[in-house]
Structure 1
């Protein structure tokens, strides 16, 4: 499991893409967060989170077999791309049905239908396709192309945000359509310029064998993002748009600390898939310590930068800045839970991953509901989030390392 020169170079390539995306995404986030009102940003962030969850239904999870075949059997890539395209079309009615239910449940009295639909389309048919093309390139170890694609996609959204801010009549409705247009343009660039060349063909015998893996992996991915994004939905439902906006800004800043961690996770997953081992627990503990340190250090850097320049990141972000210090440990706990999920994915423990994520979702939903109802003041609930995410982390770590220690694969 020790990294060689090629692995280090590959990681640095991915990290460079993450760094470029970090800078561009930060500019994009600051423009949007400070142009919309706090309530509008809370609605946009929550609708975007809903679209992110729904995008995991695309092709019923067939991206997992697609990534595996790109990593270990690239000669079959054309057959799997054909399957992904067909299954994507079949999955759209289900996505539409679930999106409609989510709209009626959470957004009907807060946001018009067309802007909501534009945000969902952007996430499901726009950014998700960008991610799929980047994932395939990473599987083929074309890390530079994947990094460039993500930077271009983020750049197009940032350009849209700049035009939106300069338009002079900023509203959530206008931004929803600008966001959709930029994201769909990113998808077009991905499909036309970055999708690896392969002879697409329908091979019926491949799909029955892989659909179980796809459905399980897709279900795990959906539950992972439900677990990850559920807090934004709960805050909107329990505390309203303004509090959801403050919370979304805090979580977005925290999420920026995860980019170098995700680059590391990606390399680790590929190495585990190729070598069929995760290393000793001492090494895993070192990984955990490193992830926690990098995560907290990122948020500390933001806090330090804002001390002498409180309006450095804009008016709305400055209103949410008082939440950062009370939530100091949240980045470490969130990123470590994501790391645990990637470990289980790499070892193909899909059923166990789904069970873990369902458990974490239930724990988080219960604890956040208690916190938001008992501690309505932001200073109180912000500090309590360390406890919420800490409990979720402990449950995740106990479950994951117990499974890895058993040394056997559970039934899927």
Structure 2
């Protein structure tokens, strides 16, 4: 990406939204993480992760064609949104079935069905629709509107967390209702205030030729979030809800460090889609990856320094999980770099290859984390071993991505 004034301004606009969301999300996370018990927070985090994965089934991945049209042919947006609505309704039975299977395999006996269902519903019909409107705005280069929408959505969840904290009944079921209400209100505001004015027109002839892109991008999206959230589910399965809660807190803190990287990824994807290529040689790619790694590690180091000086600054439960941060110091860099490389493949429309990569990453992650928790779960050294796990995932992703992109030049 050339550092022209327009690109810098657009990036800073997106980053301002990420920064605002970062601050608000941090407050939200601290309230929820320190109000629920560690076990309940572990259940909430894994149920929410499951909901994020299932939300990618909505409309069978047709979000991808909607984004591409918003980026390059916004005049067709109304027709594609009508297709998204029809496919969204058709996908709901599949989501319901997948949710029931996930509950039966992972959550039955650990949490009642009602709070689990509420959390899944919040992710699928709440936050995913907020993301859709934000994606459309970003595609149309309405970065300010997209940033404001994300901030408002995060603020509403934070307000729900505050109300949950002060009302006195701090059970997981009560929080699930509050969480659902906040996300549905966010989705309503997104469509009423932030959706660009378009005229819906159902045009069946448009959709069949876009379904291959939708299905492959949707599959890649599901696999991306599956491999991203798989570790939380495995922690719940291997170590129980309390360790899963500690790990979820650690990974949530690590995830907060990724927001500047994701803003960059978003700009890069648009640039590649518009220019139909990736400029710069190997030297520039190395510089970009080193920068992503440095920013990722610096964010976690800042949090470690804060907790060293003020151990209870982020609450009691975060303090209990803080022993994980230093042993996992390299995890943010490897994790964010895998995400960056997956975005490169998406931008070059190599969605089939992206699916293969994410399948390989998910399979390797499942195998390595299962081995680590089986061999080192009892002696407490497993956080240190996770650097090797995520490092191996990065090496796999790097070899696959750049070999493929090298052939495409």
How many angstroms does 1:228 deviate by? 0.5
Name the SS for the 2:311 alignment partner. coil
Name the SS for the 1:88 alignment partner. helix
Q: TM-score, normalised by structure 2?
A: 0.99
**Where do 1:222-233 residues align within 5 Å?**
222-233=222-233
Name the SS for the 1:394 alignment partner. helix
Name the SS for the 1:198 alignment partner. coil
**Aligned residue for 1:294?**
295
Q: Aligned partners of 2:237 and 2:28: how far apart in 1? A: 26
How many angstroms does 1:244 deviate by? 0.2
**Aligned residue for 1:266?**
266
CA shift digits 1:236-273 (9 cap, x unpaired): 01110000000000000000000000000000000000
**Where do 1:316-331 residues align within 5 Å?**
316-331=317-332
1:29 aligns with 2:14: no
Q: CA RMSD in A?
A: 0.8
Q: Aligned partners of 1:175 and 1:373: how far apart in 2? A: 33
**Aligned residue for 2:355?**
354
Q: Aligned partners of 2:380 and 2:370: how far apart in 1? A: 16
How many angstroms does 1:169 deviate by? 1.9
Check the 8 A contact 1:323/1:378 in 2, yes or no: no
List runs of 5+ in structure 2 lacking aligned partners.
none
CA shift digits 1:42-70 (9 cap, x unpaired): 00000000000000000000000000000
**Aligned residue for 1:283?**
284
1:122 aligns with 2:107: no
Check the 8 A contact 1:326/1:379 in 2, yes or no: no
Q: Aligned partners of 1:378 and 1:323: how far apart in 2? A: 14
**Aligned residue for 1:373?**
374
Check the 8 A contact 1:44/1:172 in 2, yes or no: yes
Distance 1:378 1:198, change over 3 A: farther
**Aligned residue for 1:207?**
207
Name the SS for the 2:204 alignment partner. coil
Name the SS for the 1:307 alignment partner. helix
**Aligned residue for 2:308?**
307
**Aligned residue for 2:180?**
180
Q: Aligned partners of 1:203 and 1:378: how far apart in 2? A: 60
How many angstroms does 1:202 deviate by? 1.0
CA shift digits 1:288-346 (9 cap, x unpaired): 01100000000000000111100000000000001000000000000000000000000
Q: Aligned partners of 1:85 and 1:196: how far apart in 2? A: 16
What number of residue pairs does the alignment pair up? 408
Distance 1:34 1:285, change over 3 A: same
CA shift digits 1:189-223 (9 cap, x unpaired): 10111111111101121101101110010001001
1:16 aligns with 2:11: no
Name the SS for the 1:404 alignment partner. helix
Q: Which runs of 4+ in 1 moved over 6 A?
A: none
1:235 aligns with 2:235: yes
**Aligned residue for 1:56?**
56
**Aligned residue for 1:392?**
393
Q: TM-score, normalised by structure 1?
A: 0.98
1:169 aligns with 2:169: yes
How many angstroms does 1:378 deviate by? 7.1
Q: Aligned partners of 2:283 and 2:184: how far apart in 1? A: 44
How many angstroms does 1:162 deviate by? 0.3
Distance 1:387 1:364, change over 3 A: same
Name the SS for the 2:200 alignment partner. coil
1:332 aligns with 2:333: yes
Check the 8 A contact 1:323/1:379 in 2, yes or no: no
Q: Aligned partners of 2:205 and 2:89: how far apart in 1? A: 20
CA shift digits 1:19-59 (9 cap, x unpaired): 00000000000000000000000000000000000000000
Q: Aligned partners of 2:203 and 2:3: how far apart in 1? A: 37
Q: Aligned partners of 1:350 and 1:401: how far apart in 2? A: 15
How many angstroms does 1:3 deviate by? 2.3
